[in-house]
Structure 1
């Protein structure tokens, strides 16, 4: 008996969902999340309005799918680097940061979709947290090798408390660095990751939204400098 997921009906459904998402992504690139219009998508796909709701229950449901896809693609960008990380933790940090920046620069509309609320009142589905942590997971492994200096020890102290109190954070640490919540390296691993995320999010968001235009520098120059400062702060070799 054929697997139901490979039936002609199932394949048609997935193909149609893919077409709907492709059009939504084009609308997103043209005008951001507010430009995603189900009625225009239905017309372009050749469906009635009610028929479209058999594929996505609402615009939020469609946005949820786009957000999941964007996180998964961003994770593939960093995981691709993580599969062959340089032996030097400092070089590994730069490689991961560059991969993150490259993905965002190539897919700015998708980056902006996942970094912030795309629409007033929108609530992202809970499973996006795990997807976001997958993007940053390789950073956890890099900073697990770090030796925090005085400047970042207050952050390390807070992340040590966080990972002891939050089972999901402990799972994140275990999955990507093979560490327990009580391991002496736990605080550094998460503190460095959070600081990297904060630095990257600031620079990348400003870059993809055009805020650096005309200022005479490249976002990569800033990211390189920021990652060097972090590497120094955690004594990454």
Structure 2
């Protein structure tokens, strides 16, 4: 039993080493990007052999999956905590921005350029869906009354991504617009595309949010 007990010294040591590996991975990603992530380079930094490190992560994709899972789980938990406290879409939007600015590399890993050849497992897709469900719940508490658009009508029959959420098409469209437009602003800001343009990205984000929530 002691061999499998997560509280044994062996398991605690394994947890610590895996956490250190992830710390070095984030440093690499910040310096050279996810595509250049190298387990052998991490092993060298930690004074380990390559084969020794592979006992903790079998390959690069397994390590990336762990980083992606951690990032999605962190964002989902951030939004879940805000929603439990009664946050509306405006508060949730600023929670997303605060989370993104706290660690831009974490944000860009999951919402930036996809890693070539990498496919996230189903459990990560489920966490991503959880995030969207939080937005749909928040939007459903105060739906906007606007004329139906062709996209609203389209969403009546194309809502598989909503995982059975009962929100009407107008709320589905609002959640999608919220997610795509605000992520667009954040992605451009964190990638440095606003540098030198002379305006405050925080005010652009707020303006886009006001437009999305306008009655």
TM-score over 0.5 for the pair: yes
Task: Output the CA distance in 2 between the equivalents of 1:76 and 1:9.
Answer: 29
- For residues 8-59 of structure 1, what are the alpha-carbon distances to aligned partners after superposition, in whole Å with 9 as ceiling and x for unaligned? 2222111111110011011111221133211111122232101111111111
Residue 211 of structure 2 is matched in structure 1 by 229
- Unaligned runs of 5+ residues in structure 1 are 87-91, 174-178, 180-184
Preserved contact between residue 33 and residue 118 of structure 1 (Cα < 8 Å): no
Which residue is 1:213 aligned to? Answer: 195
Q: Is the 8 A contact 1:94 1:224 kept in 2?
A: no
Q: How far is the alpha carbon of 1:67 from its aligned partner? A: 0.5
Match of 1:169 in 2: 162
The answer on whether the counterparts of 1:162 and 1:169 sit within 8 Å (CA) in structure 2 is no
For residues 117 and 141 of structure 1, what CA distance do their matches in structure 2 show?
A: 28
TM, length-normalised to structure 1: 0.82
CA RMSD, aligned part only?
2.0
Residues matched between the structures, number: 213
Q: Structure 1: how far apart are the matches of 2:41 and 2:151? A: 48
Runs of 4+ in 1 over 4 A off after TM superposition: none
CA deviation map 1:89-141 (0-9, x unaligned): xxx22211111111111211111110144432222223222222223332211
Cα offset, 1:231, TM superposition: 1.4
In structure 1, what is the Cα distance between the partners aligned to 2:78 and 2:17?
Answer: 26
Which residue is 1:202 aligned to? 184
- Residue 29 of structure 2 contacts residue 36 of structure 2 at CA under 8 Å; is this kept in 1? yes
- Counterpart in the other structure of 2:122: 126
Please, which moves more after superposition, 3-12 or 32-41?
3-12
SS in 1 for 2:149: helix
Is the contact between residue 33 and residue 113 of structure 1 (CA under 8 Å) also seen in structure 2? yes
Shift of the 32–148 alpha-carbon distance from structure 1 to 2, 3 Å rule, reads farther
- Contact 2:132-2:162 within 8 A present in 1 as well: no
8 Å CA contact 1:75, 1:136 repeated in 2 = no
Q: Which of 105, 111, 133 is 1:115 aligned to?
A: 111
- Aligned residues of 2:97 and 2:186 also touching (Cα < 8 A): yes
